[in-house]
Structure 1
Amino acid sequence: MGQVITFYSYKGGVGRTMALANIATLLVQWGHKVLLVDWDLEAPGLEFYFQDFINVQAVTQQRGLVDLLVDAERDPDDSFSSAAVNWQDMVVEIAVPDARERIHLITAGRRDQSGSYFDRVTQLDWASFYEKKGGFLIERLRSEWKKNYDYVLVDSRTGITDIGGICTIQLPDVLVLLFTSTEQSLKGIVEVASKANAARRELPFDRYSLNCLPVPSRFDSNEEFTISRQWLQRFAEALKDIYDDWLPRSIDRRQFLEVTKIPYSSYFSFGEKLPVIEQGTTDPTGLGYAYENIATILSDKFESVEELLSNRDGLVAEQLPPTSQARIFIAHSSTDKALVLDLYDRLKEAGYRPWLDYKDLLPGQSLPQEIEKAIDHSDVILVCLSSRSMESFDHGYVTEELKIVLNKYAERPRKELHLVPIRFDDFSVPNFDQAEYGVNLRHIQWMDYWVEGSFKQLIRVIEWTTRENQ
């Protein structure tokens, strides 16, 4: 199930839409399915950030969000079951460089020379819309989008408006709050975050708590260093309640603001640009680098934010799609069948080629022969054990599979084949007789799979191993 992320700013001119477009570009480059929805109906134009990849004039002639909403309001069927609410026909596909997936975009609506677009916007009666159970239509759209995409990025109207309320209260799982170094901008997003969380508790729909990510934008720390330090301190104090919901107490809020602020760039202040493509993401002072930090927090779902300070490049690397299609042999005991099947599925979903007897052994095939063949074609061996499977070891019973695997590993050059022993729970590793098994697993570092973040660590090991073997 995907996430809906609303990009909101209390004041205009903070670079909200630019941030959304660049972060969307990074997310599709990382292999995610992304839908953009231009909900800034009074000031539409999200498509202009992709003008190098689409025909903007043609795109603005297509039906979009306001057309769907106005037609739904006029529809006599309160169930909104007619073709008027078929959003799939409105999707614009955008191919950006170095991306496995295409960005999908629903524009604000059809705009032609007649000016009918703005007539439709002003005619939209939100009170009437919700009287006709329009809230359930919004909920239906939200549910369908989350089923079809990993991330739905919503560009919201500024200020306190009906549209802003939909985008900040009903729609999002995450609220990205962009603001500048002014009291209006700062206090505005703090107030909106507070009201959004309170209003969500009154919704007739189930909702988890709303994570809010404050993002200082157009922040110039080069020209006025002292003043910029003072503003960062002001931000840290004003945003305490927002950060307390998800930021570990061990992290200094001001330090975290340093890595989540978007710097001011005079060059990128002209026109609609994508610095993540034009500039890249390697310059720590650049906009692309800053957008990558924010995209990483969202892609990582706020789980390891402390690593943005201590291991930034490693955390970013974990968000990237696997660069290899490593072949992975999974050795195990039948007592751990459920655990290894789950591991197999996760590796498969990550783009690797795991081998597991339950999944890959065909009727009539010889288990020992197929094990040897699979190992010969593998890049990584995972030896998976638990306290339950080790009970048989303690009584002198070890599967023939494990003996074959470890002896086969001992025969191969270390550069060609990497072995990772995995503990599914806490137990003491026994002393494997090297003469019998070919290798003593006590002499190899084990991975504790029950520890949070272990699968990400495993991916990192697989990727490192594959690069070393090339």
Structure 2
Amino acid sequence: MKTITFYSYKGGVGRSLALSNMAIKLSQLNKKVFVIDFDLEAPGLQFKFEEDYEHLKNKCQLGLVDYIHGFANENILPESLEDYTCELRAKNINDTNIQFLSAGNFEQNDYWRKLATTKWSQLFYSKNSYGIRFFLDLKAKIEKEYNPDYLLIDSRTGITDISGITLKIFADEIVILAVNNTENLFGTNKIITSLTSSENELLNHSPKIHFVLTRLPFPKEPEEKAQEFTILKRWEKEIFKSSNGKIQDVSIIHTDKQVNHKEIVKIGDKAKVNTITYDYLNLFEKLIDGNLSSENETKFEAEHLFNKALVEKDSLLKLELLNKAILLDPSRYEYFKERGFTYFLSRQIDQAIGDFSRALEIKPGDTICLLYLGNLFYNKQDYQKAIEYLTQIDYQLAWKSLLLGMAYNNQGNPQKAEECFTEGIQHNPEDPELRNARADILRRKGNYEDALIDIYKAIELAPDKGIWFATLAEILLNMGKKEEFYLNFNLALSKNINESQLRSAKDLYAKLKDDERFLELLEKYQLDINEILKD
């Protein structure tokens, strides 16, 4: 069992986010992971896993504070950790569940009472204090009962007894994180000096230390890169000095708008992969450093190829990377899904269908796969197949309602189409495409008043979209308002719509095929009436 403690002198540096990224990546590689939330005054590590793991609240009523309080105040030392530990269940069926020892049920007043009344002096300062042995026993229980490959600890901030335990007793390796300010520099130097001083070693134990500078804006301009280089060299010099040369490497985890607005895990399945993801992956490599089995090394290599593919703009190079990743690890649905996206964008419909179908076999019910398969079969004009996939989607997505309604309409079932558009609008009232689609159905029914309400709403929501003005023009033409038709049709053409966008109302435009004013307008914008009217 390899134990890694994540520590920061101050909060707000992304410590818990870094830990959760490492835990998720290990889980993706099917390693057994045990996580402890030792940040007792500011608990909540489980929130970092919400997107990718299910946290069973009703089974996690006790935690670390209860365990410590029971021993320090009541001399109770349970034989098992079962009542204090819960499981974070991976939503991705390919990932391993994570065992979790939370700080406790901090939503209850009893948590804070126990934290405030715990006899810390009994643990650390009394004549016969048992603090060190108590925590060594806790670590031994974890190893015996759960046998994890990795124990990851989210440490208390500051220089305290608990942070000392997590750093000097528990850890085989330590990740120290800091942001670029004087306060963090002072505290980080203090803790590194303490950890690397031989006279402060406990149990002849000297953990390996990694230092990470976080929350630096990603540099885009040359002057920003030069500024980052200066900052990095300053920290490297300080860390080298305070560690007596034992720490020479400084890693960086940049920040972006997503992290600024919401603590978002960058490695997880739902993450939007970007350069920041690679910062976490680089840290992950340093922490693993040859500790993966040959099977997991293969999976890790596949993950590297996959992540490179996600940021590759050249579609051919992207496909090459994804092909290699799938050859190394054909068990991950994300690889097939991403290759499906790539085929979809390059209009290779059959290949895209094959990959989304394979992804769906690995992860049945995946909403995105069902949605894209519905779209692909719609494009192939296999409307029944499109309907079969789209109706499996539980979520009320605007795109689902739109595609499903259009599929029904093309099958000759406008009533069912209208129902789909109406249901979609109920859940997505600000979606202009649904409004436009229903307006067209209502126009065909002769319900011009309601059709106008929908199309004016669509124009209000997205005034630059030419197709809305074409639909408005079509409604007005049906109402016999020819001058208003020409006014709005001209406006639609000026917004660069094409023949295929007008084809859904070709029965209406067929009545104008001999109208000189109409034909002159088409000629002005280089549109061909025959292209509009063709089947």
TM-score range, shorter chain: 0.5 to 0.7
Post-superposition offset of 1:244: 3.9
**CA offsets 1:85-111 (integer angstroms, 9 cap, x no match):** x32332222233364421111110123
Cα distance between partner residues in 2 of 1:40 and 1:64 = 12
Cα distance between partner residues in 1 of 2:101 and 2:195 = 24
- 1:189 aligned residue: 188
Q: Which residues of 2 match residues 21-60 of structure 1 at below 5 A?
A: 21-53=20-52, 58=57
Cα distance between partner residues in 2 of 1:176 and 1:49 = 18
Bigger relative CO (Cα 8 Å, ≥ 6 apart): 1
**CA offsets 1:281-337 (integer angstroms, 9 cap, x no match):** 964x22x2211111111111699xxxxxxxx979968xx9x7489xxxxxxxxxxxx
**CA offsets 1:202-235 (integer angstroms, 9 cap, x no match):** 53x352x211100010111426433322101101
Q: 1:102 to 1:268 in 2, by over 3 A?
A: same
Q: Which residues of 2 match residues 203-222 of structure 1 at below 5 A?
A: 203=202, 205-207=203-205, 209-222=206-219
Q: Which residues of 2 match residues 183-262 of structure 1 at below 5 A?
A: 183-198=182-197, 201-203=200-202, 205-207=203-205, 209-222=206-219, 224-241=224-241, 242=243, 244-245=245-246, 253=249, 257=250, 260-262=251-253
Note if 1:119 corresponds to 2:113: yes
**CA offsets 1:314-367 (integer angstroms, 9 cap, x no match):** 9968xx9x7489xxxxxxxxxxxxxxxxxxxxxxxxxxxxxxxxxxxxxxxxxx
- 1:103 aligned residue: 98
Please report the RMSD computed on the Cα atoms of aligned residues, expressed in angstroms: 3.2
Note if 1:152 corresponds to 2:151: yes
Post-superposition offset of 1:275: 1.6
Note if 1:67 corresponds to 2:59: no
- 2:280 aligned residue: 291
**CA offsets 1:228-249 (integer angstroms, 9 cap, x no match):** 22101101211225494366xx
**CA offsets 1:25-63 (integer angstroms, 9 cap, x no match):** 001112211111000000000011122355658258510
State whether residues 64 and 110 of structure 1, in contact with CA within 8 Å, keep that contact through their aligned partners in structure 2: yes
Percent of paired sites with the same residue: 28
Cα distance between partner residues in 2 of 1:244 and 1:146 = 33
Aligned length: 294
Q: Which 5+ residue runs of structure 1 have no aligned equivalent?
A: 248-252, 304-311, 326-470
**CA offsets 1:389-418 (integer angstroms, 9 cap, x no match):** xxxxxxxxxxxxxxxxxxxxxxxxxxxxxx
Q: 1:199 to 1:40 in 2, by over 3 A?
A: farther
2:88 maps to a residue whose letter is I
State whether residues 4 and 171 of structure 2, in contact with CA within 8 Å, keep that contact through their aligned partners in structure 1: yes
Cα distance between partner residues in 1 of 2:48 and 2:85 = 16
Q: 1:72 to 1:227 in 2, by over 3 A?
A: same
Cα distance between partner residues in 1 of 2:50 and 2:148 = 23
State whether residues 194 and 200 of structure 2, in contact with CA within 8 Å, keep that contact through their aligned partners in structure 1: no
Cα distance between partner residues in 2 of 1:236 and 1:324 = 41
Pick which of 50-59 and 89-98 moved more.
50-59
- 2:267 aligned residue: 276
1:298 maps to a residue whose letter is L
State whether residues 7 and 153 of structure 1, in contact with CA within 8 Å, keep that contact through their aligned partners in structure 2: yes
1:3 maps to a residue whose letter is K
State whether residues 41 and 66 of structure 1, in contact with CA within 8 Å, keep that contact through their aligned partners in structure 2: yes
State whether residues 46 and 107 of structure 1, in contact with CA within 8 Å, keep that contact through their aligned partners in structure 2: yes
Q: 1:302 to 1:220 in 2, by over 3 A?
A: farther
State whether residues 23 and 33 of structure 2, in contact with CA within 8 Å, keep that contact through their aligned partners in structure 1: yes
Q: 1:316 to 1:267 in 2, by over 3 A?
A: closer
SS at match of 1:32: coil
Post-superposition offset of 1:200: 7.6
State whether residues 296 and 315 of structure 1, in contact with CA within 8 Å, keep that contact through their aligned partners in structure 2: no
Cα distance between partner residues in 2 of 1:61 and 1:69 = 16
2:57 maps to a residue whose letter is A
Q: Which 5+ residue runs of structure 2 have no aligned equivalent?
A: 293-299, 306-324, 332-535
- 1:128 aligned residue: 122
Q: Which residues of 2 match residues 350-365 of structure 1 at below 5 A?
A: none
2:213 maps to a residue whose letter is P
Cα distance between partner residues in 1 of 2:20 and 2:218 = 24
- 2:523 aligned residue: none
Q: Which has the higher Rg, Structure 1 or Structure 2? A: 2
Q: 1:301 to 1:290 in 2, by over 3 A?
A: same
Cα distance between partner residues in 1 of 2:54 and 2:302 = 37
Post-superposition offset of 1:182: 1.0
Cα distance between partner residues in 1 of 2:190 and 2:304 = 31
Post-superposition offset of 1:201: 4.7
Q: 1:245 to 1:192 in 2, by over 3 A?
A: same
2:212 maps to a residue whose letter is V
Cα distance between partner residues in 2 of 1:202 and 1:14 = 27
